[in-house]
Chain A
């Protein structure tokens, strides 16, 4: 497809389990972002990739969170030993160029994570 694709769209897991969330950006977009959207909290920046490198991972909440990007394309966000406070919608976005094309991010529909 032409847009940003995320999977799974919904994930229910038990506290303490690990989860992986996948993002397939728009072809040719070198910049990739992960944001977390919690009820009433807006969008919280997690990590930024330029190519396969992550020059800014300042938003990752703890060392249970990690992300990688391979081939300058697909990215995976991994949450280890999930906690209930990790429940949120995880949004991936991509954009052209190093400076994000003056801010035009293209977002996927998100992966809704529920930790029981």
Chain B
């Protein structure tokens, strides 16, 4: 079985500051890992994903995440927050099939 824990339901940063959203997972098989973003009143959009190969993956809008197997983590970072990054972010895990299990989400607020 798979599960995802996102540490912090709400993260607040200042514009220009580092963004760090934490995700830990459990999986009985080598996983695929994902981050999705949801802007207000919109559906979810894929930010980035890890399937195989390089453990540091880059996504859209300057976000990146690093798969650390030893820590069972897949934290999302961005060096400098922008006001437009304010949204809810979801980490998800898949046992390499159709099934995605999502975390409960982290709401990111960016202060001017």
Contacts and interface: CB of A to CB of B under 8 A. Distances in A.
**Chain A bound to chain B:** yes
Interface of A: 3-4, 31, 33, 35, 40-43, 45, 48, 50, 56, 91, 93, 95, 98-100, 102-110
Which one of A35, A42, A100, A103 has the greatest number of beta carbons of chain B within 10 Å? Answer: A103
Given A42-B104, A48-B99, A102 B49 contact: yes
B103 A42 contact: yes
B25 interface: no
A17 to B, nearest CB: 25
A102 B102 contact: no
Interface string B32-70: 101010000111111001010000000000000000000
B98 A43 contact: no
B41 A109 contact: yes
A103 B43 contact: no
Contacts, number: 64
26 contacts: A3-B43, A33-B100, A40-B104, A42-B103, A42-B104, A45-B100, A45-B101, A48-B98, A56-B98, A56-B99, A91-B44, A98-B98, A99-B97, A100-B97, A103-B34, A103-B46, A103-B94, A105-B44, A105-B46, A106-B43, A107-B36, A107-B43, A108-B43, A109-B41, A109-B42, A110-B43
Given A40-B9, A40-B104, A41-B104, A104 B98 contact: no
A23 to B, nearest CB: 11
A23 B101 CA distance: 21
Nearest to B104: A42
Contacts of B45: 107
A99 B98 contact: yes
A50 B99 CA distance: 12
B90 interface: yes
A99 B90 contact: no
